[in-house]
Amino acid sequence: MSLPADDATLVARAIAGDRAAFVELFRHHGPAVAKLTRAYRAPASETEDIVQEVFLAAWRCLADYDPQRPFRAWLFAIALNRVRDMARRRKVRAFFFGATELDEGAHQVGGELPDPETQTHHRRALEQVSRRLDGLPEDLRTALVLTAVTGLSYQEAAISLNITVKALEGRIARARKRLSVP
């Protein structure tokens, strides 16, 4: 498997020390990493920090990257580790300090808001989906989030998780079955 030409070129340039090439990789893949982070319910205040941590780790490990694998899949493997670390830290903070997450949209200003009834309906639906996702075993949840939320192909998600595409398909099927309304 080879990289798309633009990623392959940028990665080669970045490995050679071209920081501008790595900045371009950041611009191209950063939004998808942020989406993954938000899918794991990271507070908005932490999302940008986690994305930066992911790319810093990628920069430091770039020499270890295997160009035969998709860069995006490799990057998402790093991102998953950071997101899981973040989730563990949040649980520890909540246990010791009783910390709670702020409403994700509380800091946003501008734009028209839907009426309160619609907002309540959307919030409840989102909370229900989040609870159901949180209730899935980690391997099923991760498979579903990588493909359905962040938009990785099955091949890229399988590489990120170091499993076969067939195993990924099985995890997604089991996740969907568990999420289906009884």
Measured in residues, the chain has a length of 182
| 3-state secondary structure at position 141 | helix
Low-confidence ranges of the chain (pLDDT < 50): 2, 4-5, 99-110, 182
pLDDT of residue 6: 85
**Helical (H) or strand (E) element with 16:** none
Say which DSSP state 180 is in: S
Q: CB of 160 within 8 A of CB of 76? A: yes
Answer yes or no: pTM beyond 0.95: no
Q: What's the confidence (pLDDT) of residue 32?
A: 92
Secondary structure tally for the chain: helices H, strands E: 8, 0
**What sign has the CA pseudo-torsion 165, 169, 85, 108?**
positive
State pLDDT tens for residues 102-154: 444 444 444 555 677 777 777 777 677 777 888 889 899 889 888 887 888 89
Domain boundaries, the chain: 5-100+131-179
Radius of gyration for the chain, computed over Cα atoms and rounded to the nearest angstrom: 18
User: Could you give the 3-state DSSP secondary structure of residue 110?
Assistant: coil
Please state which architecture CATH assigns to domain 5-100+131-179. Answer: Orthogonal Bundle (1.10)
Tracing tokens 């392959």 back to the chain, one arrives at 8
Distance of alpha carbon 170 from alpha carbon 168, whole angstroms: 5
CA-CA distance, 111 to 102, in Å (whole number)?
Answer: 20
